[in-house]
Structure 1
Amino acid sequence: MKRKVTKAIFPVAGLGTRFLPATKSIPKEILTLVDRPLIQYAIDEARAAGIKEFIFVTSRGKSALEDYFDDAPELETSLRKKGKTDLLEALKATNMDSGAIAYVRQNRPMGLGHAVWCARRLVGNEPFAVILTDDVIAAEKPCLQQMMEAYNETGGNVVAAMEVPHEKTSSYGVLDIAEDMGSLVKVKGMIEKPAPDVAPSNLAVIGRYILTPRVMQNLNKKKEGAGGEIQLTDAIAEEIEAGQPVYGFRFRGQRYDCGSKAGFLQATVAFGLAREDLRDEFGDFLGDVMAMRTAAQ
Structure 2
Amino acid sequence: MSHQVESVVIPVAGLGTRMLPATKAIPKEMLTVVDKPLIQYVVEEAAAAGIKNIVLVTHASKNSIENHFDTSFELEAQLEKRVKRSLLAEVRSITPEGTNIISIRQSNALGLGHAILCAKPIIGDKPFAVLLPDVLIDKYQSDLTTDNLAGMKRRFEQTNISQVLVEEVDADDVENFGVVDVENTDLKAAEFSAIKALIEKPSKFDAPSNLAITGRYVLASSVWEALEFTLPSVNDEIQLTDALQLLLQSEPMEAYKIVGRSHDCGNKLGFLQANIEYSLLEPNLGKHLRSFLQTLSL
TM-score by length of 1: 0.93
User: What does residue 48 of structure 1 align with?
Assistant: 48
Local SS of the residue matching 2:167: strand
Within a 5 Å distance, the mapping from 1:59-78 to structure 2 comes to 59-78=59-78
Which range is displaced more, 39-48 or 216-225? 216-225
Distance 1:92 1:102 in 2: 18
Q: Distance in 2 between matches of 1:259 and 1:33?
A: 12
Question: Paired residue for 2:39?
Answer: 39
Q: Secondary structure of 2:259's partner?
A: coil
Q: Does 1:175 align with 2:168?
A: no
Distance (whole Å) between structure 2 residues aligned to residue 135 and residue 72 of structure 1 = 27
Counterpart in the other structure of 2:134: 134
Instruction: Note closer, same or farther for the CA distance 1:197–1:99 as it changes in structure 2 (3 Å cut).
Output: closer
**1:276 correspondence with 2:278:** no
Q: Per-residue displacement from partner, 1:150-169 (whole Å, max 9, x unpaired)?
A: 32343311011001111111
Q: Which letter does structure 2 place at the counterpart of 1:272?
A: S
**Are the equivalent residues in 2 in contact too, given 1:193–1:226 (CA < 8 A)?**
no
Percent of aligned pairs sharing the same letter: 40
The number of residues matched between the two structures is 290
Asked if 1:237 is matched to 2:242, the reply is: no
Does the 8 Å contact 1:146/1:251 carry over to 2?
no
- Determine the structure 2 residue equivalent to 1:219: 227
Contact 1:161 1:248 in 2 (8 A): yes
Give the SS at the match of 1:259. Answer: coil
Q: Confirm or deny: 8 A CA contact 1:2 1:155 kept in the other structure.
A: no
Instruction: Provide structure 2 residue ranges, at least 5 long, that are not aligned to the other structure.
Output: none
Q: Secondary structure at the match of 1:23?
A: coil
Aligned AA for 2:156? Y
Give the alignment of 1:140-219 within 5 angstroms.
Answer: 140-142=142-144, 143-180=148-185, 182=188, 183-219=191-227
Give the Cα–Cα distance (whole angstroms) in 1 for the partners of residues 274 and 124 of structure 2: 35
**Amino acid aligned to 1:159:** V
| Structure 2 counterpart of 1:191, one-letter code | I
Distance 1:169 1:94, change over 3 A: same
Alignment of 1:119 with 2:126, yes or no, is: no
Query: What displacement does 1:26 show?
Result: 1.3
Q: CA deviation at 1:132?
A: 0.4
SS in structure 2 opposite 1:206?
Answer: strand
Q: State how far apart, in whole Å, the 2-side matches of 1:76 and 1:155 are.
A: 43
CA deviations on 1:106-134 (whole Å, 9 max, x unpaired) are 12211111110111111100000000011
Give the superposed CA RMSD.
1.8
SS at match of 2:60: coil
Moved more, 1-10 or 277-286: 1-10
SS of residue in 1 equivalent to 2:129: strand
Scaled by the length of structure 2, the TM-score of the pair is 0.92
The Cα of 1:77 is off from its aligned counterpart by 1.3
Q: Which runs of 5 or more structure 1 residues have no equivalent in the other structure?
A: none
Work out the CA distance in 2 between the residues paired with 1:153 and 1:255.
25
Q: Summarize the alignment of residues 76-115 of structure 1 with structure 2, pairs less than 5 Å apart.
A: 76-95=76-95, 100-115=100-115
Q: In 1, are the aligned partners of 2:192 and 2:256 still within 8 Å (CA)?
A: yes
What's the secondary structure of 1:209's corresponding residue?
Answer: strand
Q: Provide the C-alpha distance between the structure 1 equivalents of 2:283 and 2:177, rounded to a whole number of angstroms.
A: 34
- TM superposition shift of 1:2: 5.7
Asked if the contact 1:69–1:96 (Cα under 8 Å) also holds between the matched residues in 2, the reply is no
